[in-house]
Homo-oligomer: A and B are copies of this chain.
Amino acid sequence: MSPKQRQAGQPAPPHPGYPIHNDRLLKACRRQPVDRTPVWIMRQAGRYLPAYRALRKQVSFMKLCKTPELALQATMTPLAVMDVDAAILFSDILIPVEAMGMKVVFTEKKGPQLPGAIRSEADVAKLRVPDPEETMAFVPQAIRLINAELRGRIPLLGFSGAPYTLATYMVEGETSKNFYGIKRRLFEAPKLMHALLDKLADTVTAYLNAQIAAGAHAVQLFDTWAGALSPTEYAEFAFPYTQRVIAGLRRERTPVILYVNGGSDYLERMAETGADVLSLDWRIDIGEARRRVGHKVALQGNLDPCALYGPPAAIRAQVARVLQSFGKGEGHIFNLGHGILPDIPVAHAVAMVDAVHEESARFHRGV
């Protein structure tokens, strides 16, 4: 069955059916009352955890992503040390890019390298829109394994890079500082970029549908680098493709979280994508964000990842400040404004999670 067929409105296959015991996160996504603010951490299974580093000594990053049993192990690692309210699939945002036919090499020092960066229409024409069950079957398999192990204790988040952010890697060939390469192409060759984004939107839609079908309870779209765009270019090259992906998801109540690093200038526009939750970086006051869009969407965030360098007492004060800024009521998922950094002490991450649970009760009426 091709991705197109699967997108064409067929009913979603039944969920594995574990009832979710701790559903704070799903309730917060839907702006329903909770007893305390749910919290998880972007990259919570990452390099700051000794157990993860030990795992990585044995296997490469790619092998970890592509072996469901190992992805399960990595996904579960943080749950042993922290009382987070969600697990997040261990994977990489470039998995679908590789499945489209591009070579992706993960290097320790320089991050992902894509030697065949997109230059021409011929390069775009060569890319396929992959069937995720054929090319990325290890992802739905990992999701099924993780849910079997979680048995509904907490929800499992799936994720994908959003089309524009995946395009940045495909055009730049690596993580960029300023994204001059892709932005040059947006202004020089907008049609070429639209052709690429078109294929990416179909790919990401099918990929997330496969994750939802396998049992992801919510999905996060990482449009991490769209914050480097002006509002005009965001509206042309990022927004419509994100909107199309979300519209194409075969979901009943599966929430969609949209993350943009540096997206505070586009919040209103992001709220029109169909996402249920906007995930903020640390640059905007979350209370201000709530005033701007909180009547339409829930909000996730937004502690500066560097705040975890401070001592636990300072971390608690920073947590309290974010909670206070959001204020009383529904629709807040606590998180960092970007992924946790590799040199953060585990105890500081734990201090943050505990502080969220302890400090947040007073902002909720209880359920």
B341–A310 contact, CB under 8 A? no
- Tell whether A232 pairs with B264 under 8 Å between CB atoms, given A188-B310, A310-B187: no
Inter-chain contact A307/B187, CB cutoff 8 Å: yes
CB of B183 within 8 A of CB of A306, answer: yes
> Taking A177-B177, A180-B341, A264-B264 as contacts, is the C-beta distance between A230 and B283 under 8 angstroms?
yes
In chain A between 252 and 288, which residues have their CB closer than 8 angstroms to a CB of chain B? Answer: 262, 264-265, 282-285
Contact B231 A285 (CB under 8 A): yes
User: CB-CB contacts of A303-315 with B at 8 A, as 1s and 0s?
Assistant: 0101111100010
A248 on the interface (CB 8 Å rule)?
Answer: no
The number of residues on chain A lying at the interface, defined by a beta carbon within 8 Å of a beta carbon of chain B, is: 32
Say whether B341 contacts A283, CB under 8 Å.
no
> Is A321 interfacial (CB 8 A cutoff)?
yes
**Distance between A314 CB and nearest chain B CB, rounded to angstroms:** 7
A314 touches B264 (CB 8 A): no
The count of identical subunits is 2
Question: Which residues, 162 to 205 on A, are CB-close (under 8 Å) to B?
Answer: 177, 180, 183-184, 186-188
Residues of B within 8 A of A264 (CB): 264-265
B341 and A304 contacting across the interface, CB-CB below 8 Å = no
**A321 contacts which chain B residues (CB < 8 A)?**
232
Neighbouring B residues of A180 by C-beta, 8 Å:
306, 341
Closest residue on chain B to residue A232 by CB atoms: B321
Contact A309 B188 (CB under 8 A): yes
Q: For the complex, give the distance between the alpha carbons of A259 and B228 in Å.
A: 17
Task: For residue A3, give the distance in angstroms from its CB to the closest CB of chain B.
Answer: 33
Q: Are B231 and A306 in contact (CB under 8 A)?
A: no
Q: Which residues of B contact A310 (CB under 8 A)?
A: 187-188
A285 / chain B contacts, CB cutoff of 8 Å: 231, 265
In the assembled complex, the CB of A109 is this many whole angstroms from the nearest CB of chain B, namely 14
- The residue of chain B having its C-beta at the shortest distance from the C-beta of A185 within the complex is B309
The answer for the CA separation of A165 and B232 in the assembled complex, in Å, is 28
Interface residues of A in 306-348 (CB under 8 A from B): 306-310, 314, 318, 321, 337, 341
How many whole Å from A269's CB to the nearest CB in chain B?
11
A282 proximity list for chain B (CB < 8 A): 230
* 19 pairs from A and B in contact (CB 8 Å cutoff): A177-B177, A180-B341, A183-B304, A183-B306, A183-B309, A186-B306, A187-B306, A188-B309, A188-B310, A227-B283, A229-B283, A230-B282, A230-B337, A231-B285, A232-B318, A262-B262, A264-B264, A265-B283, A265-B284
Chain A to chain B: the 8 pairs with minimum beta-carbon distance, closest first: A183-B306, A187-B310, A184-B309, A230-B282, A187-B309, A177-B177, A230-B304, A265-B283
